Structure 1
Amino acid sequence: MSVTISDIAKTAGVSPATVSRVLNNSGYVKQETREKILKIIKELNYTPSAIARSLSTNKTNTIGVIVPDINNPFFGEVIKGISEIADKHDLNIILCDTDESMQKELKALKLLKEQRIQGIIITPTSVEDDFNSEYLSTLENLGIPIVLVDGHVKYSTFSGVFVDNIKGAYEGTEALIKAGHRKVAIITGRMNSKPAKDRLIGYKKALAMNNIPIDERYIFYGDYRQESGYKFTKEMVMMEDGPTAIFVCSNLMTLGCIKALHEDDLKIPEDMAIIGFDRIEILTIAGMNISFINGPTREMGSIGMKLLIDILKNEEKKEIKRITLLPELVLNGSEKYIKK
């Protein structure tokens, strides 16, 4: 049988309101009475209900995390980074997966507000091209601090942490060029997102800086999902004058690319060179030495959480902080040009 505030009050000979003031450390209570109540709480092994506490303080010790694809290892790493910092500050997490659906994201935002959470860390589904005033208004009117992670909301002024995607794509594409490739293809992410646009900019910049004309036949517009990496790689290997290397703009599309090459008995890098964006742990475990752009994924999560905590501690300041982290090029040999 659970112990209630009324039980503690009865044992201590005080009112439930007095016990509540001790529990919430609010209002005046005589030191002698306070010590007596705390002793009884300990003896009865009382644990205050999180729901009851939220009703009295209008807040829970919880933050919301919203991501577009929980199955993507990228977001698994981001969540780990968030969780590590949240644990140190005794904060709980409610995780929502939107499956890249705007409607699911709006539903998640409503749910989190009803849960009286303290703040939200979000990788938004919102698109760059089709500005949605209703969506932005929903975010701004939540009355809850919001931090963005690796995703932008057009015309918003939220704090956030991001990766320099132009630099990452430039260095990845240039590494393929320096290895000897002149016909370098790219599989982009969803082009209505800023990270995908920036990665395409970096790719084109690397070609231009190395005096290689941009060939639209080698630009394949993907969607970050494994299926698009698979589909477009199949198309590339069927081309008469196809590319000798592919810069793949997400980890899941890289898996799709590798699957397509494997099915056609094509070797990496002998038949097709590859550099992907973001590390894929399973490939390392399997002994596949694929070169990649290492975005500081877990660090993004931890910095995002720190930004949110800073906002919660200094809500009156409303200082906007936007931090951009630098990616790292990791070459494992899959970028090499093997002459036939």
Structure 2
Amino acid sequence: MTSHSANHQPFDRRVEKAALAQEIKESRRAVLVVNTRSRRGARAYSEAKRRLTEAGIILDASFPVRHAERLPEIVREEIAKGRKFIIVGGGDGTISSVIDHFAYVSVVFGLLPLGTANSFARTLGIPLDLPGAIDVLVGGRVFDVDLGKINDHYFANGSSIGMPAIVGRATPHTLKKWLGRGAYLLVGASKFMRFAPFRCIIAINGQETSFDALDVRIANGGYQGGVLVAPDANPDDGKIVVHILTGASKWALGKQWARTALRAPFRAADMKILKATELMIDAVPKQDVAVDGEVITKTPIRVSVGREALILMVPQAFVERFEAGSERTSPETMT
């Protein structure tokens, strides 16, 4: 896979984005890859093809992917063919499975949110309905955002240690398809009674600290599980936010989940919030680590930022949050 250095200069990214935006605008060509096992993927694939074609997008290739393990291979092959605009339809797990191949390559990532939680789409302000999402693909802006990184694995939105990882591993795909986010609540309730707090050890710049932890969330974007859990996380500031729910009683975790569901603010006394460009996280006993809902490894882990790693199509409103007074590279428009 073609890759660039993670230490991009702003000028390089400006030129790269402008060239991609111009090429997409002139050619109106794209590739469509849809995980048809995602919650809405099967019925959305044909409609997406039709709407994109009606909007003037020429699809050089389209893939209804029934077996999710083929998604990375297909994306990798299409990038190797020199495709410049690849639209991926699926949920956060789908994004997680392919995002490594989009990091630091000259390809625009387009997102059709067809999953259960659609946390990355919510972070970017991409509409969750198919017509709205396609409007962004057709008339949005070419922009770049940070990716988080766990060891050597990039992630788009968020990672978790503790109960979210346990629930993510235990929730069957079929249950998610039928119940949506309710599937996580159902499985979470069954796992909660056997859950135990753990010791979390954080090291930043050689300084180590530890907590009795109930839940650890590592955020590049604000949403996890479709819920806004890290409003201070921003995929454009070069930082990773870590929220650690501290305490020795698992009932505090239940209360925090209830507060999150009710959109109530965090209780500062129970939450440690750290923000850094790189840190190490360990746990005693060892804990599963989930990235965008999929368990990928166990602690210990190294967490870092892939600065401006992903070039993608976003809504105009998302861009406007950064234009006023920003010193970063100017986004380019497709329209």
Alignment TM-score > 0.5, same fold: no
Q: When you count strand as a share of all residues, which structure comes out higher?
A: 2
Relative contact order, higher structure (CA 8 A, sep 6+)? 2
Q: When you count helix as a share of all residues, which structure comes out higher?
A: 1
Tell me the TM-score normalized by structure 2: 0.28
Tell me the TM-score normalized by structure 1: 0.28
